[in-house]
């Protein structure tokens, strides 16, 4: 009985949760970072070459080991492929080098004051214009704010679409 109530109250509170300012900011930043992404996914080492084959495990052994072994397939190396060194594996875990890594390595903060660099060229926050507000669903000018997540909407119709599709989806 008490368990049941606990479950119910938790559900209600989740639905009524309001995203605080820090989280809203984080969501916006994540969205901006996504604008610079490519859709490329890094392949496994050697996946493009022909030196590795995945052999399906024999069906007999599969049955013995139970259903969990279905995921594990033995990788059998055929021919002399490139050996994976520890450095390669570490480099792979870090992912390919991006511009941010180069920027950090260049240590531009340590340049003398007034020396022009990548950092001094940033245009900085605006001084003549305030942000305008657009409906997150249809893109029109909006006058209302979603009370839970802070997104904008312009009409009841757009609000309905918003709550159904986007609102708090990033919380999950």
Partner 1 sequence: MALQDVVVMDVGGGSVKMGSARQADTPKVFPNASAKLKGERQTFVGEAMLGMKDVLALSLRRPVDRGYVVDWSLQREILARALKGLLGGLSASSCGLVLTEPYLNLPALREAAVRMALDELGFASIYMAPPAALALRWHAQQMPGLPANAAGCGLVVDAGFSFTHAVPVFDWRVLPAAIRRIDLGGKALTNFMKELVSYRSVNMMDETYLLEHIKEQLCFVSQDTAADLRAARGRASPFRREYVLPDGLADTWGHVRTAEEAAAAAAAAQQQQRQGGPQLPKQPVLMVNNERFMVPEALFRPTDIGMEEAGLAEAIAAAVQAAHPHLHGLLWSNVLLTGGTARCPGFRERLFAELRPLVPDDYELAIYLADDPVLCAWRGAALLAASPSYPRLAVTRQEWRSRGTAALAKWEQ
Residues of this chain that bind partner 1 (CB under 8 A): 28, 31-32, 34-41, 48, 96-99, 101-103, 105-106, 108, 114, 116-118, 120-132, 134, 137-141, 165-166
Supply the DSSP symbol for 159. H
* Choice between 129 and 172, CB closer to partner 1: 129
* Choice between 36 and 64, CB closer to partner 1: 36
> Closest approach of Cβ 148 to partner 1, in Å?
18
Answer whether 150's CB lies under 8 Å from 131's CB: no
Q: Closest Cα partner for 102 from 120, 86, 117, 92? A: 117
Q: Which pair of structure tokens corresponds to residue 100?
A: 């941010």
* Choice between 4 and 100, CB closer to partner 1: 100
Q: Which pair of structure tokens corresponds to residue 124?
A: 């900085």
> Closest approach of Cβ 115 to partner 1, in Å?
8
> Closest approach of Cβ 56 to partner 1, in Å?
19
**What is the β-pairing status of strands 75-77 and 52-54?**
antiparallel
> Closest approach of Cβ 30 to partner 1, in Å?
10
Supply the DSSP symbol for 169. G
> Closest approach of Cβ 58 to partner 1, in Å?
27
* Choice between 67 and 125, CB closer to partner 1: 125
HSE-CB at 40 with a 13 A cutoff on CA atoms is 7
* Choice between 55 and 119, CB closer to partner 1: 119
Whole-angstrom Cα distance, residue 153 to residue 145? 6
């Amino acid at each position: 009985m008490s368990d049941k109530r606990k479950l119910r109250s938790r559900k209600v509170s989740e639905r009524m949760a309001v995203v605080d300012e820090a989280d809203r900011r984080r969501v916006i930043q994540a969205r901006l970072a996504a604008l610079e992404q490519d859709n490329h996914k890094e392949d496994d080492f050697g996946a493009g070459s022909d030196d590795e084959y995945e052999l399906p495990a024999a069906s007999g052994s599969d049955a013995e080991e139970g259903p969990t072994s279905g995921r594990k397939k033995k990788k059998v190396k055929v021919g002399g492929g490139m050996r994976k060194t520890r450095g390669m594996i570490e480099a792979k875990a870090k992912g390919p080098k991006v511009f941010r890594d180069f920027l950090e390595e260049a240590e531009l903060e340590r340049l003398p004051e007034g020396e022009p660099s990548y950092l001094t060229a940033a245009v900085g926050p605006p001084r003549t214009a305030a942000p305008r507000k657009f409906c997150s669903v249809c893109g029109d000018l909006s006058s209302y704010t979603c009370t839970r997540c802070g997104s904008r909407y312009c009409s009841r119709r757009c609000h309905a679409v918003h709550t159904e599709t986007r609102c708090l989806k990033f919380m999950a």
